[in-house]
Chain A
Amino acid sequence: MIVATHPHTHETAQPEGHAHVALPQHRHHFETQEQQREAGTFGMWLFLLTEIMFFGGLFFSYLLYRNWYYDAFVVASNQLSVPLGGTNTAVLITSGFFMALAVWAAEVKKKGLLVLTLILTMLFGCIFIGIKYDEYHEKWEKHHIPGDHFDVSEFVNPHAYGLKEEPLPPDQAQHTQIFFSLYFAMTGLHALHMLIGLGILVWLTVRAQRGDFTAGYVAPIENFALYWHFVDIVWLFLFPLLYLINRHPV
């Protein structure tokens, strides 16, 4: 084994004898740029794994309650707007597409295209949030936000509201509140991830404009893309689970 034990006589923190050419973003504790890039990507995947566990608790609760309060969940999920949710799915996929393009642009060192695609990613992200806001607002007006103001009359007496649902007995109707609790918790957590992502996108765009990512150092763009795609994928589970399955009362 070769271990340096001689006294440290000079001030430099940089070890000598590196064969590779260090890019400015190269951190001193990595041996090679390649090692640094791999570590970053691996770290990002692990982080996404923790995110899966984070959402996992909610998915678990959702499946459990859906099983228990099947009728209440069916009726409550009919309150969600498939056209709006569907549009949002398309919007999100589009935004993910532009993000994928952005990675490509960074790799082929096209600065203009990179900035453009990042901005388009952001734009579609914002549309998503706008539509989400609209949906939340509608729930607010109908008193479907869980908590003290929650109102079940629409489920107890749907015909009075012009709905074709079967009426639920009052105690069953109460359980629709759990559906909405989970709906807000899950889509809210998802939206929060979108907002954080949008914040990071602003920062990436500024740096891309400076030319940081078009000189061979693309790791931040790649890792952010992983995050953004992950957020898309979570939505691809949320949409069918909350909006689509069992549209029609049994």
Chain B
Amino acid sequence: MSATSSTIVNLPDQKTATLPKRSYLNNEDGLLSWLLTGDHKRIAILYLISITFFFFIGGAFAGLIRLELLTPQPDLVASDTYNKFFSMHGIIMVFLFLVPSVPATLGNFLMPIMIGAKDLAFPKVNLLSWYLYWVGGLFTLAALVLGGVDTGWTFTTPLSTHYLNTHVVTAAVGIFIIGFSSIFTGLNFIVTIHRMRAPGMTWFRLPLFVWSNYAASILMVLGTPVLAITLVLVALERTIGIGVFDPTKGGDPLLFQHLFWFYSHPAVYIMILPGMGVISEVISTFSRKRVFGYTAVAFSSVAIALFGFFVWAHHMFIMGVSNYSALVFSLLTMLVAVPSAIKIFNWAFTLQKGSITFETPMLYAFGFMGLFTIGGMTGVFLGALGMDIHLTETYFIVAHFHFVMVGGMLMAFLSGVHFWWPKMTGRMYPESLSKLAAVTTFIGFNLTFLPQFILGYLGMPRRYHAYPPEFQVLNVLSTAGATVLGVGYMLPLLYLGWSLKYGAIAGNNPWQATGLEWQIQSPPLTENFIEVPIVDHEAYDYEWLAHKTEQEVTTVG
């Protein structure tokens, strides 16, 4: 195999190429045909627009947080307003952006196509999920407009149930409803993957993106209801004063922590697993190789999902759990790092002998691997009991989870959006701008969050709006980084919008990839496949692809 080649992009002749006359985009016209659609691809687009909207609202709060932290004095806003800022930032980012991001958009669009199905098993439930997302989102926004919430996204009791006079119940109702949106998505995915695979699409021929969404769906289905019932109890305690978490009535605030983190630790894997699926697809495509250790990567997703349920108490080391259980949970936490490491190693091996090209999705994927590795390794630090006691509730934590979730997940999301953009819209995005955006994001990200590791190590606590002057330099760096990062996120919004009208025609398979989604027209027909595909090869079988393109040159009119 030759060394790295510069590009594999294979676009049709732009002078003669046109978009297909019929596609899911123009099959029916009018706003109503979108709002009542059962087509998984249209619902995916609805989600894409919605979560982008919420992402930028959450981002605005991040900007305000960083602006306040530019100076050591509490000069921009009062402390209670600051509390509302970071609460809304966390709530919106976690529940309205990160959890639905990849599954509800890319997963919704691609998963059925990847397994050769015409749609998800329950199209109406899928649409219902989207409406629930919005109803929940509006409740959350209402909480914001009515005066905000200041519990942080963790709703810690008894703070949330007794001492705060803000709109906790409204926000809790919002998240309860969004929870059902996520449960229904997960349920729909699991049934679809079990029951709707095309002939020949065996479990071990599934693309890894499907596997990872499958694992995330298990977590959604099993974890989210526990969060839902916990929020019901919080709301009941606030409104009618039942005492399940209230120590003055014999209730136990620690119980809240157990129930909350029983969901919220697995939730970080709901956020990251689908992103890992994207990375597997991208890495394989741009190094022209089957993912090394396919089975191990597939099973590691499921393993992460299952182990994820047994480590929740590592969020509670300093909250009064017994030493004995802290030790057990510390050990279990180390275990869950293993399947994640398996993935990183397998991606590295995949790259090792591949013929790599550096397209935009691949740049984001490299960003993911670097940042997620740092995030994951610091997680191992935090899982170690002694270290955690020093570092928890400091900016070290903030940096850790931003490395995983923003550095990891968001990079993966952007990688996937770029990778499948030609499939979703039929058009390419401008090459050099998109690479610029990827690099800007990476630099901005590191500038924002690397200083926070140091800040945390030096002892700057999280969730304060003022700090001792000696921390200022690092905070200024971080705020500067956030500005760069903001630019990095705005760029795709602009040029992807531009490309909808002016982008080059992409053709069916610009990356010359093997997945079923690349064998149909771009953008696809409403029914995806005119005839049910019969699958007779493994995922990422590039020899099969070379063979096939020799035989038949496919065109779309």
Contacts and interface: CB of A to CB of B under 8 A. Distances in A.
B537 interface: yes
A28 B527 contact: yes
B225 interface: yes
A164 interface: no
A51 B222 CA distance: 9
B230 interface: yes
A96 to B, nearest CB: 23
A181 B529 CA distance: 54
B122 interface: yes
Contacts of A162: none
A2 B551 CA distance: 13
Interface string A53-85: 111111011001100010010000000000000
A35 interface: yes
Most buried by A among B122, B195, B526: B195
B226 A147 contact: no
A1 B520 contact: no
Contacts of B222: 49-50, 53
Nearest to A43: B191
Contacts of B249: 146, 174-175, 177-178
User: Main SS of chain A's interface residues?
Assistant: helix
Contact of B250 (A27, A58, A60, A69): A69
B255 A64 contact: yes
A17 interface: yes
Interface residues of A, number: 51
B525 interface: yes
Interface string A169-183: 000001101100110
A42 interface: yes
Interface in B191-240: 191-192, 194-196, 200, 221-226, 228-230, 232-233, 236, 240
Contacts of B244: 61, 178, 181-182, 185
A147 B240 CA distance: 5
Nearest to B555: A5
Nearest to B188: A43
Contacts of A166: none
B191 A54 contact: no
B266 to A, nearest CB: 11
A5 B183 contact: no
A15 B531 contact: yes
Nearest to A172: B250
Interface residues of chain B: helix, strand, loop or mixed (majority): loop
A29 interface: yes
Contact of A42 (B195, B221, B230): B195
B15 interface: no
A185 B529 contact: no
A138 interface: no
A16 B374 CA distance: 52
B265 to A, nearest CB: 15
Contacts of B536: 1
B527 A50 contact: no
B243 A181 contact: yes
Contacts of B226: 53-54, 56-57
A35 B195 contact: yes
Among B200, B526, B531, B537, find the residue whose CB has the most chain A CB atoms closer than 10 A: B531
B79 to A, nearest CB: 30
Interface in B513-557: 516, 519-521, 525-527, 529-537, 548, 554-557
A195 interface: no
Contacts of B147: none
B203 to A, nearest CB: 16
B242 interface: yes
**Could you say which of B192, B228, B251, B525 has the most chain A C-beta atoms within 10 Å of its C-beta?**
B251
A8 B121 CA distance: 24
A177 B240 contact: no
A24 interface: no
Contacts of B192: 39
Interface string B144-181: 00000000000000000000000000000000000000
A51 B225 contact: yes
B121 A3 contact: no
Contacts of B119: 29
Contact of A3 (B236, B241, B529): B529
Interface in A4-63: 4-8, 13, 15, 17, 27-31, 35, 38-39, 42-43, 46-47, 49-51, 53-58, 60-61
Contact of B229 (A1, A15, A46, A58): A58
Given A54-B228, A64-B255, A178-B249, A13 B529 contact: no
A50 B533 contact: no
Contacts of A39: 121-122, 191-192, 195-196
25 contacts: A3-B531, A3-B533, A5-B554, A8-B21, A15-B531, A29-B123, A43-B187, A43-B188, A46-B221, A49-B221, A50-B222, A54-B226, A54-B228, A55-B229, A57-B229, A64-B255, A65-B252, A147-B240, A147-B241, A148-B241, A177-B242, A177-B250, A181-B242, A185-B232, A189-B229
Interface of A: 1-8, 13, 15, 17, 27-31, 35, 38-39, 42-43, 46-47, 49-51, 53-58, 60-61, 64-65, 69, 72, 145-148, 174-175, 177-178, 181-182, 184-185, 189
Closest 8 A/B residue pairs (Cβ):
A4-B530, A181-B242, A7-B557, A29-B119, A54-B225, A147-B241, A29-B118, A57-B229
Interface of B: 20-22, 27, 117-123, 125, 183, 187-188, 190-192, 194-196, 200, 221-226, 228-230, 232-233, 236, 240-244, 249-252, 255, 259, 508, 516, 519-521, 525-527, 529-537, 548, 554-557
Given A2-B534, A185-B232, 6 more contacts: A1-B535, A4-B531, A8-B530, A15-B531, A15-B532, A28-B527
